[in-house]
């Protein structure tokens, strides 16, 4: 059962999507038809040898408040791409993260690497919006979805050529994700009800991740050593947001982190 930020954000995002669909469904369908998402490229980018980072653009977070008062996601995304990010994540949720779909569009125009729409998605219209705005991938949070809804959204994502990063927080959610057919699984160490981080979650779930699934570690990643250790524990990629967004130059910070992680020995 959902509670806290997760429940509020999912409900708010769903209401907003329903309202938008009533006034802009035709234009979103038309814009989505003109796009050619590269969902396969998103998955491939995360499986590359070395340290693969999905670098995140977000202005605000529920746990830290405003991260950047002057927020230009396209500039940040260019810095990430230049530093060697495998992909870019863009928060589009408005209530808790000050995000918009326009942020996603601006990032899409600014970079050529794969782009993920990160939001609290629960409707097919939100998938269409993601495609229309230029996303190659979407986030699906298992804790926010019933099994039937998760399966339907995964199937519809594939039909739209969008990769799906399916987020889990514990063993039960991991089982549900695998049973639904997820091929990219994100293990989030942050409890979305309490906002507390438990990096032990990465180790508890590592041995349960199927070998054919792309595994992504999310939240609580601070140092190069964290990335190297988890790379050795089965994780293919790492989603990093606050650690970079609180720095004066997020792209430069990512470059330093990647360089340090690559130079370390396991």
Question: Confidence class of residue 206 from pLDDT cuts 50, 70 and 90?
Answer: very high
- Does the active-site annotation cover 188? yes
- Region 167-172 average pLDDT: 97
- Which of 122, 218, 231, 242 does the annotation list as catalytic? 218
The residues with which 215 forms a beta bridge, in sequence order, are: 185
- Does the active-site annotation cover 196? no
- Does the active-site annotation cover 167? yes
- Does the active-site annotation cover 193? no
Q: What is the pLDDT of residue 189?
A: 96
Each residue's pLDDT tens digit, 214-258: 999 999 999 999 999 999 999 999 999 999 999 999 999 999 999
The number of C-alpha atoms within 13 Å of 34 and in the hemisphere containing its C-beta is 8
- Does the active-site annotation cover 129? no
Q: What is the pLDDT of residue 266?
A: 44
- Does the active-site annotation cover 231? no
Residue closest to 152 by CA, chosen among 129, 180, 119: 180
Percent of the chain residues past pLDDT 70, beyond the cut: 98
- Does the active-site annotation cover 58? yes
DSSP, collapsed to helix, strand or coil, labels residue 201 as helix
Q: State the CATH number of the domain containing residue 38.
A: 3.20.20.70
Question: Confidence class of residue 191 from pLDDT cuts 50, 70 and 90?
Answer: confident
- Which of 124, 167, 173, 242 does the annotation list as catalytic? 167
- Which of 122, 157, 191, 219 does the annotation list as catalytic? 219
- How much is the mean pLDDT over the chain? 94
* Confidence check: pLDDT of 101 > 70: yes
- Which of 56, 124, 129, 173 does the annotation list as catalytic? 56
Alpha helix locations (H) across the chain? 4-34, 39-46, 73-83, 101-110, 124-133, 147-159, 171-180, 200-206, 224-232, 242-245, 250-263
- Region 75-102 average pLDDT: 96
CB 148 within 8 A of CB 181: no
Each residue's pLDDT tens digit, 52-83: 999 999 999 888 889 988 999 999 999 999 99
Number of domains in the chain: 1
Q: What is the pLDDT of residue 3?
A: 58
* Confidence check: pLDDT of 13 > 70: yes
Q: What are phi and psi of 220, to 5 degrees?
A: 75, 15
Q: What is the pLDDT of residue 240?
A: 97
Q: Which domain holds residue 58?
A: 4-263
151-172 burial code (b ≥16 CB/10 A, e <16): bebbebbeebebbbbbbbbeee
Q: What is the pLDDT of residue 2?
A: 56
CB 100 within 8 A of CB 4: no
The whole-model pTM stands at 0.95
């Amino acid at each position: 059962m959902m509670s806290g930020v997760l429940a509020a954000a999912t409900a708010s995002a769903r209401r907003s999507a329903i309202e938008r669909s009533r006034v802009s469904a035709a234009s979103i369908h038309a814009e989505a038809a003109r796009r050619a998402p590269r969902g396969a490229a998103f998955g491939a980018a995360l499986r590359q040898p070395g340290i693969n980072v999905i670098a995140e653009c977000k202005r605000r977070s529920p746990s830290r408040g405003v991260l950047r008062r002057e927020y230009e996601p396209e500039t940040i995304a260019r810095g990430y791409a230049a530093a060697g990010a495998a992909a870019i994540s863009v928060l589009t949720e408005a209530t808790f993260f000050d995000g918009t779909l326009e942020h996603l569009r601006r990032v899409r125009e600014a970079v050529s690497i794969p782009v993920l729409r990160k939001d609290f998605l629960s409707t097919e219209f939100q998938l269409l919006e993601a495609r229309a705005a230029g996303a190659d991938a979407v986030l699906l949070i298992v804790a926010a979805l019933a099994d039937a809804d998760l399966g339907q959204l995964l199937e519809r994502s594939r039909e739209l050529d969008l990769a799906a990063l399916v987020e889990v927080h514990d063993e039960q959610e991991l089982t549900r994700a695998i049973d639904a057919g997820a091929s990219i699984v994100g293990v989030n160490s942050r409890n979305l009800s309490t906002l507390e981080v438990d990096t032990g979650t990465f180790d508890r779930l590592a041995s349960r991740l199927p070998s054919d699934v792309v595994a992504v570690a999310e939240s609580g990643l601070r140092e190069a050593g964290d990335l190297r250790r988890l790379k050795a524990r089965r994780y293919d990629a790492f989603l990093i947001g606050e650690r970079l967004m609180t720095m004066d130059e997020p792209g430069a910070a990512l470059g330093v982190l990647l360089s340090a992680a690559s130079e370390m020995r396991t």
